[in-house]
Amino acid sequence: MTTLNSTRLKPTWTLAGNSLLILMALSVFLPFFWLSLGSFKTGAQLNNPALLLFKPTLENWKEVLRSGVLESAYRSATVGLVTVSLSVVIGSMGAYAISRYKTGGSSTRFGILAAQVLPPAVLVFPFLEVSYKFRLNDTLFAVIISHLSFVLPVITWFLIGFFDAAPKEVEEQALVDGLSRFQAFRKVVIPQVAPGIGAAAVFGFVLSWNDLFYALILAPGNSATLPVKIASFNTFRGVELGAMCAAILVAVIPVLIVSFFIQKRLVRGISGGAVKY
Amino acid sequence: MASISLKQIQKSFGEVEVVKGLDLEIPNGQFTVLVGPSGCGKTTTLRMIAGLETVDSGVIHIGDKDVTKLEPKDRDVAMVFQNYALYAHLSVADNIGFPLRSKGVKKEEISSRVAEVAASLGISELLKRKPKELSGGQQQRVAIGRAIIRNPQVFLFDEPLSNLDAKLRLEMRTEIIRLQRRLGTTAVYVTHDQEEAMTLSDVMVVMKDGVIKQLGKPDDIYKKPVDVFVAEFVGSPKMNLVKGHASAGNFTAPSGFQIKVDPKLSGEITLGIRPEDVKITSKDASSKQGKVEILEQLGPRAILTIQSGNQQITAVVDNENLKQITDKTNISINSHLEDHHYFETSTGKRLN
């Protein structure tokens, strides 16, 4: 085992590496820790960010319940789920066509992301104009349509790689075994890229869930989504920091859980090793 | 069971014409092997029979039915791919039963047929496993099971043994022959391995550059190759081919190699002698002197690489005839006239 030992890092390097990792972990976790503490502090206690020992209050959480944060979380979830469902259905078909049939030529692969290089402000005002015309302003429908403009291309782009990696022979086998092309796509190709679709869906959902800009402009009132609601704690009287901390936690916790799954799904193999190369 | 008929099949990929006006009749119930080097169009031909590639022109019939424009699912063919192409998300039982399920066969019938097929292939105990939990040989058996379960008109095999190790390949080869004989289904098999083609085929089709070079029983092709390409491609070790001049029953190569040939021959010819037809003696009785450079023992036989001037000759000799011959032994080379293959040097066509 000399070779193994010789490739091991020296203790100094291991220590340096571990310290760096601890620093990185701290930089990620500290804001969450501070948010969690903040959500149980009174306004006066919040003025002292370093205060670690204090008598916790549930006032901020009660305020969160009173002000309709949960309802806006529900609206955000609805927008996210509808956007992702549509994006996965349309995006998987689009990605498959681009991957297998080179639809639109090689430029389409990245061309579908073209709109992403524009600042959202360029797109949001046309959306606003159209939503006014159709009397859709301040509805979730308007938000969903605007979210599709960035979630759908990203999911499609994400899935192209997964379809590229899916072995073509399995699909051809399905054609010979009696399926039509669409049936083969649905019953054989989709299961092969299922981990990819799962990851893309979670990724797309997080994009939609976190969006403030489109939602704030298209639906700032009764249909406010969670990020819009959180922003509303920044009132003309000042920032209601405690309630905002609690509301941010409401927004962050689902994303954390979801991120845990995306990570698991991403590392899982694509085709399960049925095809030998 | 059905015969297959390909008439004037042509296929190009971009600028490259892969199959050039191919005519082929594949007899009913026979095992036909398409063999040739990479890029000869054999796999494309098979894929056109399956319907996985469209034909640019020409007509394909399976039985009496014109299938040229039909989807693969409507051709009633079963195919086994080189990489097995199992459905990773389905169990072995579901993989084997897949073609029946897509036809809408009842569940009970599917499970009884799956059990029957699995038993015939010796994989009954694997039915609940997923493909990734199987070895290469087991995966291959599942792929074959999936092909035979619905009694198709035609089996198509696309180099199905290439990914197996040598021992397993031999085992599966025998198994495929046995299976095809038992079911009597027309089979088309593609391989680049001439030895596999020789052992499997009832009819062997040697292809090169998108055209058929020779078609016939493997033994006939081996004994009477139509040209230099087929002569060299079929048989292992390769046929010795020597370019030279024939006159008055004597053949002389520029390398100095000489041998007696058919006295009717004259002019520039290419002489072919199969390694097993090369007769060697260690006595200094002939002018065709050579020296054994390498001696490879194969058990009952040995392969000798002999250097005669600038000419290299390969001989396969039974061990009992080797006697005192070892590396570096000087030997004489001879052969019977009836074992000679003569080809026109300019065209490569067979002369005798």
Q: Is some CB atom of chain A closer than 8 A to the CB atom of B76?
A: no
Residue A7 makes CB contacts below 8 A (sequence gap 6+) with: none
Say what the pTM is: 0.80
Q: Which range of residues forms the domain containing residue B294? A: 240-344
Q: State how far the Cα of B341 lies from the Cα of B259, in Å rounded to an integer.
A: 13
DSSP element (H, E) containing B205: strand B203-208
**Do residues B135 and B68 both lie within one domain?**
yes
| The pLDDT of residue B52 is above 50 | yes
**Do residues B208 and B283 both lie within one domain?**
no
B263: helix, strand or coil: coil
Q: State how far the Cα of B260 lies from the Cα of B333, in Å rounded to an integer.
A: 11
ipTM over cut 0.85? no
**Do residues B14 and B76 both lie within one domain?**
yes
- Asked if B201 and B26 count as a contact pair (C-beta separation under 8 A), the reply is no
For B233, other C-beta atoms within 10 Å of its C-beta total 25
Q: How many domains does chain B have?
A: 2
A125: helix, strand or coil: helix
- Asked if B24 and B6 count as a contact pair (C-beta separation under 8 A), the reply is yes
Report residue B108's pLDDT band, with 50, 70 and 90 as the boundaries: very high
Contact: B73, A188; criterion CB under 8 Å:
no
- Regions in chain A scoring below 70 on pLDDT: 1-9, 262, 264-277
Contact: A191, B51; criterion CB under 8 Å:
no
**Do residues B70 and B159 both lie within one domain?**
yes
**Do residues B213 and B319 both lie within one domain?**
no
**Do residues B199 and B107 both lie within one domain?**
yes
Helix orientation angle between A59-66 and A69-101, rounded to the nearest 10 degrees: 70
**Do residues B227 and B278 both lie within one domain?**
no
Q: Does residue B286 or residue B235 have the better pLDDT?
A: B235
| The pLDDT of residue B159 is above 50 | yes
**Do residues B73 and B217 both lie within one domain?**
yes
In a domain, B334, yes or no: yes
Q: State how far the Cα of A271 lies from the Cα of A49, in Å rounded to an integer.
A: 50
**Do residues B320 and B215 both lie within one domain?**
no
Question: What is the least distance, in Å, from the CA of A196 to any CA of chain B?
Answer: 14
In a domain, B350, yes or no: no
- Asked if A180 and B73 count as a contact pair (C-beta separation under 8 A), the reply is yes
In a domain, B352, yes or no: no
> Last residue of some domain: B199, B233, B267?
B233
Q: Is some CB atom of chain A closer than 8 A to the CB atom of B283?
A: no
Report residue B30's pLDDT band, with 50, 70 and 90 as the boundaries: very high
Instruction: Report residue A147 as tokens.
Output: 């979210």
Q: State how far the Cα of A159 lies from the Cα of A157, in Å rounded to an integer.
A: 5
In a domain, B349, yes or no: no
Phi and psi at residue A105, to the nearest 5°: 75, 180
For A196, other C-beta atoms within 10 Å of its C-beta total 25
Report residue B75's pLDDT band, with 50, 70 and 90 as the boundaries: very high
**Do residues B202 and B275 both lie within one domain?**
no
- Asked if B226 and B213 count as a contact pair (C-beta separation under 8 A), the reply is yes
pLDDT at B10: 94
Residue range B254-280: mean pLDDT, rounded = 90
Nearest to B79 among A167, A173, A180 (CB): A173
Q: Is some CB atom of chain A closer than 8 A to the CB atom of B145?
A: no
The residue of B48, B52, B62, B77 whose CB has the most chain A CBs within 10 angstroms, and thus the best one to mutate to test that interface, is B52
> Last residue of some domain: B233, B248, B271?
B233
In a domain, B351, yes or no: no
Residue range B53-69: mean pLDDT, rounded = 94
B227: helix, strand or coil: strand
Torsion of CA B201, B207, B210, B212, to 10 degrees: -90
**Do residues B109 and B207 both lie within one domain?**
yes
**Do residues B54 and B164 both lie within one domain?**
yes
Q: Which domains does chain A have, with CATH numbers?
A: 2-60 (no CATH), 69-267 (1.10.3720.10)
Sign of CA dihedral B302, B307, B312, B313: negative
pLDDT per position as a tens digit, B293-328:
888 888 888 999 998 888 889 999 988 877 777 777
Is residue A239 packed enough to be buried (19+ CB in 10 Å), middle (13-18) or exposed (0-12)?
exposed
Sign of CA dihedral B105, B111, B116, B119: positive
> Last residue of some domain: B178, B213, B233?
B233
Closest residue in B to A188 (Cα–Cα): B87
CATH number of B324's domain: 2.40.50.100
CATH number of B210's domain: 3.40.50.300
